[in-house]
């Protein structure tokens, strides 16, 4: 399975995220699927495949999901498999939806101490095949208590796997891999991405389409600089790359897809090729994902290939403000990414 999707993905890397025409068994139509629908599809397929999988969360059933990600599932699978929980921030395979990951802080003790650590503490006796999913990071105008990015918090903990999909393909492939994984997996979605449609390649339409956890994807090939990102900012990086391309700067944009275990090999190979690195994330700068990437670059072979210090583009080091102008300047924008790239390349 992995071999087949590997065969498929390598040539896919050659093209940017637009229409991919190749040899297929079926004639591909240009299918557009939103991230929301991709997650819905992924969960639907896994619920059908394994009766031990079930979904619980606030408003996931009759309300069809606070963000409509679980729309239609309750009608199809009923009360036993799709469970509405009251507000509350065995072996079965639960998918636990957090309305936002900010609420996960109420349950974070369970995520870390009861889920992440249990297999280790029991000496390998008690696995915890659970998925925690929900929107993470900044939204629009939801202010400080609803805008935090938890990639660094969860990425810190051994025993957890943490994934962060960007587009529809990522969303479907990663949620399916997460559900099939026998470990606790945190899936950091993004509310602003739910409604965004993307091209859905034919292989992603298969019921067995999986994206391996721990593997990054090069969304755009380049030669001058490596730009590493995850989740929504990947889109901003691609926009920045398009702008810079007109000026003759070719950026290689890497979509991390997985925060933990991080795919350093892909990042290192790219840095060894381009000699420059910029990391982009929505979370706060201190002790963040970019900080980890930089530290690991220093420890590895790619350090000697850097022609300039690595640079991080992050959210501003403030609780998220409400006023639009302040909020806009508290998250990395395309201009900030372009500026950082040019600084790194000294142009």
The vertex-9 CA angle with 160 and 183, nearest 5°, equals: 15
- Output the smallest distance, CB 248 to another protein, in A: 37
Q: Which one among 83, 143, 243, 308 touches another protein, defined by CB under 8 A?
A: 83
Question: CB-wise, 106 or 245, nearer to another protein?
Answer: 106
Per CB under 8 A, 90 contacts another protein? yes
- Output the smallest distance, CB 83 to another protein, in A: 8
Question: CB-wise, 106 or 145, nearer to another protein?
Answer: 106
Per CB under 8 A, 109 contacts another protein? yes
Cβ atoms of residues 136 and 164 within 8 Å: yes
Question: CB-wise, 2 or 19, nearer to another protein?
Answer: 2
Active site residue 239: no
Catalytic hit among 45, 58, 146, 252: 146
DSSP 209: -
Give the helix ranges, DSSP H, for 50-167.
Answer: 73-81, 104-109, 118-121, 151-155
- Residue 225: closest CA among 336, 333, 314, 308: 308
Under rule CB under 8 A, how many of the chain's residues touch another protein?
34
Beta strands in the chain (DSSP E): 32-34, 53-57, 82-84, 93-97, 131-135, 161-163, 185-189, 197-199, 217-220, 225-229, 251-255, 258-260, 277-280, 311-313
Report the site for another protein in 148-167 (rule: CB under 8 A). Answer: 158-159, 161
Catalytic hit among 89, 199, 239, 250: 89
Active site residue 299: no
Report the site for another protein in 174-193 (rule: CB under 8 A). Answer: 181-183
Measured CA to CA, the distance from residue 133 to residue 189 in angstroms comes to: 7
Stretch that binds another protein, among 27-35, 119-127, 168-176, 192-200 (CB under 8 A): 119-127
Q: Please identify every residue annotated as catalytic.
A: 89, 146
Contacts with another protein by CB under 8 A lie at 54, 80, 83, 85-86, 88, 90-92, 94, 109-110, 113-114, 118-129, 158-159, 161, 181-183, 261, 299
């Amino acid at each position: 399975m992995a071999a087949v999707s590997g065969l498929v993905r390598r040539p896919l890397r050659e093209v940017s995220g637009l229409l991919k025409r190749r040899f297929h068994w079926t004639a591909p139509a240009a299918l557009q699927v939103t991230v929301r629908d991709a997650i819905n599809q992924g969960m639907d397929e896994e619920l059908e495949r394994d009766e031990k999988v079930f979904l619980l969360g606030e408003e996931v059933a009759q309300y069809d999901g606070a963000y409509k990600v679980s729309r239609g599932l309750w009608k199809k699978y009923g009360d036993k498999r799709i469970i509405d929980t009251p507000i509350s921030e065995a072996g079965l395979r639960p998918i636990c939806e957090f309305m936002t990951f900010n609420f996960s802080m109420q349950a974070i003790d369970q995520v870390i101490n009861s889920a992440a650590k249990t297999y280790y503490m029991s000496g390998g006796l008690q696995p915890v095949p659970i998925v925690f999913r929900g929107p993470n990071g900044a939204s629009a105008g939801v202010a400080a208590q609803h805008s935090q990015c938890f990639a660094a918090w969860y990425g810190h903990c051994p025993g957890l796997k943490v994934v962060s999909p960007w587009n529809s393909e990522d969303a479907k492939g990663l949620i399916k891999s997460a559900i099939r994984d026998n470990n606790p997996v945190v899936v950091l979605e993004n509310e602003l991405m739910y409604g965004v449609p993307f091209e859905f390649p034919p292989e992603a339409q298969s019921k067995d389409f999986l994206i391996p956890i721990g593997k990054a994807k090069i969304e755009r090939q380049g030669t001058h600089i490596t730009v590493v990102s995850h989740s929504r900012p990947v889109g901003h990086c691609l926009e920045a790359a398009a702008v810079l391309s007109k000026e003759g700067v070719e950026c290689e944009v890497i979509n991390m897809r997985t925060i933990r275990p991080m795919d350093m090999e892909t990042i290192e190979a790219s840095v060894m090729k381009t000699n420059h690195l910029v990391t982009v994330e929505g979370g706060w700068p201190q002790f963040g994902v970019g900080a980890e990437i930089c530290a690991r670059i220093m420890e590895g072979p790619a350090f000697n290939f850097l022609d300039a210090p690595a640079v991080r583009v992050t959210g501003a080091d403030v609780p998220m403000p409400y006023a639009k102008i302040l909020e806009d300047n508290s998250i990395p924008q395309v201009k900030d990414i372009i500026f950082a790239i040019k600084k790194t390349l000294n142009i």
